Amino acid sequence: MSSHYEAPIRKPLVTGNKSYHDVSNDIAAAIEGKANKQWWIVFSIALAAFLWGVGCMIYTISTGIGVWGLNKTVGWAWDITNFVWWIGIGHAGTLISAVLLLFRQKWRMAINRSAEAMTIFSVIQAGLFPIIHMGRPWLAYWVLPIPNAYGSLWVNFNSPLLWDVFAISTYLSVSLVFWWTGLLPDFAMIRDRAVKPFQKKIYSLVSFGWTGRAKDWQRFEEVSLVLAGLATPLVLSVHTIVSFDFATSVIPGWHTTIFPPYFVAGAIFSGFAMVNTLLIIMRKVSNLENYITVQHIELMNIVIMITGSIVGTAYITELFIAWYSGVEYEQYAFLNRATGPYWWAYWAMMTCNVFSPQLMWIKKLRTSILFSFFISIVVNIGMWFERFVIIVTSLHRDYLPSSWTMFSPTFVDVGIFVGTIGFFFVLFLLYSRTFPVIAQAEVKTILKTSGDNYKKNRDKK
Amino acid sequence: MGNHKKYWKSELELSSDSKLIDKLANNEFVEDLPVGNLLADENSLENSNASRRDFLKYLGFSTAAATLASCEGPVNKSIPYVVQPEQIRPGISNFYATSISDGFDFANVLVKTREGRPIKIEINNQSKDNSPNARVQASVLSMYDSSRIQGPTIDDQDVSWDQFNDNVKGQLDSMKESNKKVVLLTQTFASPTNELIIKKFLKKYPNVEHIVYDAISNSKALDAFEISYGVRALPTYNFENANVIVSLSADFLGDWQGGGFSKGYAKTRVPKNGKMSKHFQLEANMSLSGANADNRIPLKPSLQNKALLKIYDYISGENSGVSLDVDLDKKLKSISNSLLKSNGKGVFITGIDDVGAQLIALKINHLIKSNVINVQKLNYTSLGDDKKVSKLVKELSNNNIDGLIMVGVNPSYTFPNSEQFNESLKSLDLSVSFSMNNTETAKLSKWVAATPHYLESWGDVEIKSGNYSLVQPTIKPLFDTAQFQDVLLNWSGSSNSFYDELKSNWNKNVLNGLSWNQALHDGVFYQNSNSKKLSFPYTFPNVNEFVNGLKSTVFDDFELTLYSKTSMGNGQQANNPWLQEMPDPITRVSWDNYMTVSKSDAQNLGLKNINDSNGALNSNFAKISISGKSLKVPVIIQPGQAKGSVGLSLGYGRTSGVKKELQTGVNAFDLYNNFTNVQNVTIESVNETHEFACVQLHNTLMGRGDIIKETTLEIFNTKKSSEWNYVPSVSLNHIETLVTSPDVDIWDEFDRSVGHHFNLSIDLNGCTGCGACVISCHAENNVPVVGKTEVRKSRDMHWLRIDRYYSSAETFSGDNTTKDNISGLSDSLSVFGEMENPSENPQVAFQPVMCQHCNHAPCETVCPVAATSHGRQGQNHMAYNRCVGTRYCANNCPYKVRRFNWFLYNNNNEFDFNMNDDLGKMVLNPDVVVRSRGVMEKCSMCIQKTQKTILDAKLERREIKDGEFQTACSSACETGAIVFGDINDEDSKVLELKEDDRMYHLLESVGTKPNVVYQVKVRNT
């Protein structure tokens, strides 16, 4: 650490007079205690939704994609919308843990663990869709370049869908490793505190024999830095590649060179919104208000505001380029987005993603917990609509008017989406009861610089 | 054969009492297996190599192996030929020439059979008469209809044919004795041999009267011709001679007077040496002919009568005293003038069901000395007589008739007062129905004679005078059926079979000593027309007596015009899923009939078309009432429908002998009073929702002039092609470069000069939108039928579709101008909104679209598993086995021609059509795989056909001639609008077309470089 001194003008990142021991107690509380009634209620709801989604998936796979609302003109709708939405949400984790680490943003320490957990859980949801959206998902392994006995059969490296396969699997594995590395000292802390033998056994297994030697810490720091360096390009690449699914096509409204930065900004935007959604609840129910402070939420709101503005600029640039291109199909595609049969989706997207984050300019609003929660939900909805607008409104009216039609989801479309939300929360709720939800080891490193008691004492001198 | 050889194992076997030999013979294992030793002795057990793990492994393996061995694979029973037929070689198709004559469709066809099964109808190139239309193309499936009657029945009891014949004969004899009247009610056969046989029958039973009945009548036209020329027949028309075509409500590209005019018509429609014919259409409903016309004037039937008189006035110089509004009058005058100036190359035809109108039409043609109409060569395909049928109905209700023998007709369905008829039918002493299906009539008849399909029958037909064709069986009858001719011969007491009669009649009266086998091979035989020159008394009656009748027709409310739909005709093939799923060329609605109404009338009546949230089309109902009867029908708002008129198609609403899912629409024959297609009706809206299955939900071209390029004949003749066939350009280093230039191509071009390179050319001038290619493609490529609910979800599977566009302005060029004049955002918002609505009387354009087989295919690059890739010969291949079904290719296809198997469409009770039915599956083409669920499919450019051609030529060590390469669509296109071939063949027609000035690629600016080319549509306006 460069310095133990932090300017008094900076707000403390840990409040409530915390000592090192308090930190350990607070973080371990959720794991060592018993789940309360609310947790069980929420968990049951999430599990029910998840099982309902599993039912819908089984129905789809056993009967055919026809149980969805797709048709000859609109070949993708909720499936890929959900896929991109979840991938986008999964973006905040890496950004917070890797990019903010490189930029030495210490406020990330309170949120990076949960943000990364969210990343992994949402990438799992996202990964489901490319598989179940296939007509013959039992052959999904054909998209992997596995040497085979079928002669010269090989994957098509020109296809952006194949790039997706690599991008997502890389992202998932790097995120997982990064997350677990960070978890080691924290698991070790839980292990050391554990009184039940079974619990002790499990946590010693997952902490990979962490001893806390100086060498351990040195390696830990090095690996974190290396992984951060590796993960940083992934922040840009994953969503860039996802955007290639559309950008490399010939469909007006998809064929757009602005997509890579636009998608990346949108992903960070939605990811931060989801982090906000989750942490605002978690800090309350797990009594972590002293670690995830209003200061943290405000900083995230600022990121949301900035990325929201980038996304807004991209939307308007798209419209401008459509007009400027002079290509009639392009012009019509964007006119149709805003004023065609799906105008409501477009304006829902515009309202949620462009207008609502602008309210964050007002300090009172961006420091209001309730308002932040509200906006985070709004942004999540808006970003879902963004993908829906891009996919469905571009497809439903493309080149030949004879093929124009509409898309309407079935209960299965909705069921699978709700199911993935359920699955996500099942995982997240289990995580919140079994994992140290805050990187306590890291928080402890800043306690003496950014803890309110230490800061106060220092300022008094 | 017994084998007496003995193999010696050892010399010990020579001695019969050797114990060792006995032991060896009784024991399978020479030595005892050491199982007991092993298990008993603890030491040896411990020393053995087989560990407990090994034991478990062996146990596991043996259990698994035993289980697997006991699983039985699916057993497909197949019966080998006892005697291998000489002609049938597995994998090689045989073709037979035959003809269809079902009373509504008459055509010469070539039938493709595989392994003894007819699977496809093709055009018979020897034929000078009608080519197969969509219904005839689909008729092969009607043979494999599991709901067919499988044997004769009396009172619904299965009987043998001998019992059946004896029973009917006994009944007939007793009726003959008591002189009870019997009527033989038949379809139009146009068959010389049938005529002989019926004559024989009538001779034996003089109490029988033969009445010919056409469900959709041409009786008025026949009357008029008989009055004028003394012969009861229809004239023929040589549209290839036409320069000016004026059609007043005659859908001659549809089913008017039996159809079959498209071929000649199309010849005059493709501009040649700067010339093409000019086609005026005056009509109430938007018909196929109206859609193809250069100039279409919507006129309701009452005005049609007046317009007819007016045209007659202008041509004859008489004055019938009709007054019309000035604008219309002017148009009629100019139409009349062009007819007068046509120099014998004009023709005037009308579909008005009125003797006077038909007489006037004949007279007009006479006055303008039309060479198009040929009164020497007669059309025999519709000979029904309304007067006799009306008399029959009356006599039946008066109980003056005691017996009815019906062949090829379904009066319980097609009579306007069918209930009354049904009552009479039930009370008859003799009611015999010859029928393939358990039709409405067969259901009520006491005797039902199961007849074979035409592909299982012998027969002959004289479609036009002197043009004879033969009907020959292409498969042994599937069921215990008998042709009505054989039965009738039996009843007449003849021991001859119909085949004998047919052959002897032909040898005696038709062939003039030429070979029967040759005629059977060709399927057609043309008598030298000079040998039988007809001489007619040209006794034109004074048309004035009819003028008043026409003038005074008064309609007080709505004028309904009944018509037959391209897909369903008169409803005989209602149980054919291909035809049910075939979209109507005009409305593009499948699985339904409906009332067509103009937009303004719909507004006044409160009739609505609304799109559901998934885009599907809904409407409310209209109640059509006519003298006490009423029908509740769904509504389609039809651009081009004359105000004050409505249309409704016949042929729907079948309820008997038709599967539940295929019982669609309403029976409009209920309104077909007096066998007249125009009726005076009142209409009110009914507030219930009907759900349509319409494959095209957006009707206008939105000013996208590069999708259907068109120009006028004048511009085509005078301007450079770059003006009317504009190729878009892009900026390359600030230089405008054509998109076709290799400089703006991001891909390296392959060398395609070696081998074959297939191209398909579609001439938008030649295409009339008839849809024969759609069915042909369906049949050739085993395209599944998905049913109404799936079509409604925009999931139709047609590999080839015919897009139909209406102009939003009066003309398509008007649309382009509107779009080009858009300035500013607010303008574009409103103008594009308006352009979604077609004009009240729009121009219409058809465009067949199938996979464009792009050389730079957007679908190929995006498939993650390379399931779709390009072939050496230009095709875009689809490897179904490799497809995992991501649908990315379909999304990225600018032409939206890829079709996804959303469900399993075969062997699935949810899709109970021909592919879920052992009999229906017989029609499948063995050369084309049936696709499984979850894979993408699309047009393959009939690769199975091109490969066959290539392999045949290779075997015969010869070069392939142009024209040998065909696709299902090109071979079904009687107008020659679709041409397929190899552009590496310098003499090929398709290369010539590809280099034609009119050639363009669909969506050239996308840079896909398709192998399908279109020819610019030229309108003679």
Q: Which amino acid is at B356?
A: G
Please write the tens of the pLDDT for every residue from B141-164: 999 998 999 999 999 999 999 999
Q: Which residues of B touch A160 (CB under 8 A)?
A: 862
Q: What are phi and psi of B618, to 5 degrees?
A: -125, 155
- Tens digits of residue pLDDT in B854-884: 999 999 999 999 999 998 899 999 999 999 9
Q: Which of A136, A161, A332 sits opposite B935 (nearest CB)?
A: A136
Find the closest chain A residue to B884 by CA distance: A136
What digits encode the pLDDT tens for the residues B8-28? 777 777 776 777 777 777 776
Q: Which residues contact B351 (CB under 8 A, 6 or more apart)?
A: B247, B248, B249, B250, B251, B256, B283, B677
B895: closest chain A residue by CA: A400
Contact (CB<8Å) A159/B858 = no
Chain B residues closer than 8 Å to A409 by CB: none
pLDDT digits (tens, 9 = 90+) for A370-408: 999 999 999 999 999 999 999 999 999 999 999 999 999
To the nearest whole number, what is the mean pLDDT of chain B?
89
DSSP H or E run through B687: strand B678-691
Residue from A403, A407, A410 to probe the interface with B (highest B Cβ count within 10 Å): A403
Non-local CB neighbours of B678 within 8 Å, separated by 6+ positions: B301, B352, B353, B559, B560, B561, B562
Q: For the beta carbon of residue B147, count every other beta carbon within 10 angstroms.
A: 16
- Give B48-102 pLDDT, tens digit per residue: 676 788 889 889 999 998 888 877 777 777 777 778 777 778 888 899 999 999 9
Please tell me the distance in Å from A251's CA to the nearest CA on chain B: 6
Q: What is the mean pLDDT of residues B385-405?
A: 89
Residue B103 φ/ψ region, left for φ over 0, alpha for ψ in the -120 to 50 degree band, beta for the rest: left
Give mean pLDDT, residues B267-287.
Answer: 91
Chain A contact set for B698 (CB, 8 A): 397, 401-402, 404-405
Single pTM value for the model = 0.89
Among A164, A405, A411, the residue to mutate for chain B (most B Cβ within 10 A): A405
Contact B579, B326 (CB under 8 A): no
Question: For the purposes of burial, counting CB atoms within 10 Å of the CB of A31, is it exposed (0-12), middle (13-18) or buried (19 or more)?
Answer: middle
Q: Which residues of B107-122 are buried (b: 16+ CB within 10 A; e: fewer)?
A: bbbbbbbbeebbbbbb
Tell me which residue of B767, B782, B764 sits closest to B968, measured CA to CA.
Answer: B782
Alpha carbons B479 and B85: distance in angstroms, whole number:
21
Count chain A–chain B contacts defined by CB atoms under 8 A.
191
Q: Which two tokens stand for residue B135?
A: 């219904």
Torsion of CA B451, B456, B457, B460, to 10 degrees: 130
* E strand residue ranges, B102-221: 106-114, 117-123, 153-154, 157-158, 182-186, 208-212
What is the pLDDT at residue A461?
63
Q: What is the mean pLDDT of residues B970-978?
A: 93
Q: Does A162 touch chain B (CB under 8 A)?
A: yes
The verdict on a CB contact (< 8 Å) between B805 and A401 is yes
Domain coverage including residue A414: 20-452
Q: Is residue A59 part of a domain?
A: yes
A 364-403 residues inside an 8 A Cβ radius of B: 395-403
Q: Hunting for tokens 């008169």 — which residue is that?
A: B570
The pLDDT confidence band at residue B486, using thresholds 50, 70 and 90, is: very high
Instruction: List, as one string, the DSSP characters of B784-849.
Output: PP--HHHHHTT----SSEEEEEE-SSSSHHHHHHHHHT--SHHHHHHHHHHHTSPPSS--EEEEEE
Q: Hey, which bits of B187-240 come out as E strands?
A: 208-212, 234-237
In one letter, which amino acid is B184?
A: L
The distance of Cα B23 from the centroid of its chain, to the nearest Å, equals 78
CATH of the domain at A363: 1.20.1630.10
Beta-carbon separation of A72 and B935 below 8 A? no
Question: Using CA atoms, how far apart are residues B582 and B567, in angstroms rounded to an integer?
Answer: 6
| Cα–Cα distance for residue pair A351/A381, rounded to 1 Å | 10
Residues of chain A numbered 2-61 and touching chain B (CB < 8 Å) = none
Domains along chain B with CATH numbers: 11-62 (no CATH), 155-217+386-473+482-522 (3.40.50.740), 230-379 (3.40.228.10), 555-694 (2.40.40.20), 710-744+758-1019 (3.30.70.20)
Q: For A40-60, what is the mean pLDDT?
A: 95
Tell if the CB–CB gap between B935 and A135 is shorter than 8 Å.
yes
The pLDDT score that the predictor gives to residue A48 is: 96
When pLDDT is cut at 50, 70 and 90, the band that residue B400 belongs to is confident
Q: How many domains does chain A have?
A: 1
Tens digit of each residue's pLDDT (9 = 90 or more) over B510-565 = 888 888 999 999 999 988 755 455 566 666 677 777 777 777 777 778 999 999 99
Tell me, yes or no, whether A186 lies in a domain. yes
Tokens of B853: 């087989």
Considering only CB atoms, A135 lies closest to which of B707, B884, B891, namely B884
**Residue A76: which of B803, B887, B934 has the nearest Cβ?**
B887
The CA distance from B381 to B383, in Å, is 6
Check residue A375 and give its pLDDT. 92
Interface of A with B in 275-304 (CB under 8 A): none
- pLDDT, average across residues B253-280: 90
Residue B776: its pLDDT value, please? 94
Find chain B residues with C-beta within 8 A of A76's C-beta. Answer: 887-888, 891
Q: Do A406 and B613 touch (CB under 8 A)?
A: yes
Tell the residue number behind the tokens 């490319």, with chain if given: A130
Higher pLDDT, B746 or A60: A60
By the 8 A CB rule, do B850 and B1012 touch?
A: yes
The answer to whether residue A11 is domain-embedded is no
Query: B406 falls in which pLDDT band (50, 70, 90)?
Result: very high
pLDDT of residue A56: 95
Q: Domain for residue A276, yes or no?
A: yes
At residue B296, the pLDDT reads: 92
pLDDT at A2: 43
Domain assignment of residue A460, yes or no: no
What is the reported pLDDT for A3? 53
Within a domain: A457: no
pLDDT of amino acid B529:
58
A101: closest CA of chain B, how far (Å):
36
Domain presence at residue A9: no
A155–B contact, CB cutoff 8 A: yes
Cβ–Cβ below 8 Å for B861 and A158: yes
Nearest-by-Cβ selection for B896 from A76, A139, A400:
A400
| Burial of A51 from C-beta contacts in 10 A (0-12 / 13-18 / 19+) | middle
Is A1 near chain B, with CB under 8 Å?
A: no
Interface list for A 224-243 with B (CB within 8 A) = none
Residue A362 burial (CB count, 10 A): 11
Give mean pLDDT, residues B1012-1016: 94
pLDDT tens-digit map of A443-453: 888 888 888 88
A428 touches chain B (CB under 8 A): no
Cβ-nearest to A75 among B698, B890, B1006: B890
CB contact under 8 A, A75 and B891: yes
Residues B864, A162: C-beta atoms closer than 8 Å: yes
B-chain residues within 8 Å CB-CB of A72?
794-796, 890, 896, 898-900
Residues of A in contact with B934 (CB under 8 A): 64-65, 134-136
Q: Do B886 and A70 touch (CB under 8 A)?
A: no
Does A3 map to a domain?
A: no
Chain A CB contacts of B882 below 8 Å: 142, 153
Q: Mean of the pLDDT values across residues A65-81?
A: 93
Q: Does A319 touch chain B (CB under 8 A)?
A: no
CB B634 within 8 A of CB B594: yes
Place of tokens 């399927």: B523
Nearest to A436 by CA among A122, A183, A178, A209: A183
Q: Half-sphere exposure of B531 toward its Cβ, with a 13 Å CA cutoff?
A: 10
- Whether A453 has its CB under 8 Å from any CB of chain B: the answer is no
Verify whether the Cβ–Cβ distance A249 to B884 is below 8 Å. no
The CA distance from B780 to B776, in Å, is 6
Write down the ipTM of this complex. 0.93
Given an 8 Å threshold on Cβ–Cβ distance, is A72 in contact with B896? yes
> Do the Cβ atoms of A161 and B886 come within 8 Å?
yes
Q: What percent of chain B has pLDDT over 70?
A: 95
Length of chain B as a residue count: 1021
* Interchain pair A250, B858: CB under 8 A: yes
A179 CB within 8 Å of a chain B CB: no
Pick among A399, A410, A414 to test the B interface (most B CBs inside 10 A): A399
Backbone φ and ψ for B244, nearest 5 degrees, come out as -125, 125
Token reading at A457: 């004492």
- Other CB atoms within a 10 A radius of the CB of residue B566 amount to 28
Residue of B512 and B1020 predicted with greater confidence: B1020
Partner-chain contact A72 B849, CB within 8 Å: no
DSSP state of A212: -
- Considering only CB atoms, B698 lies closest to which of A133, A135, A401, namely A401
Q: Report the percentage of chain A scoring pLDDT > 70.
A: 99
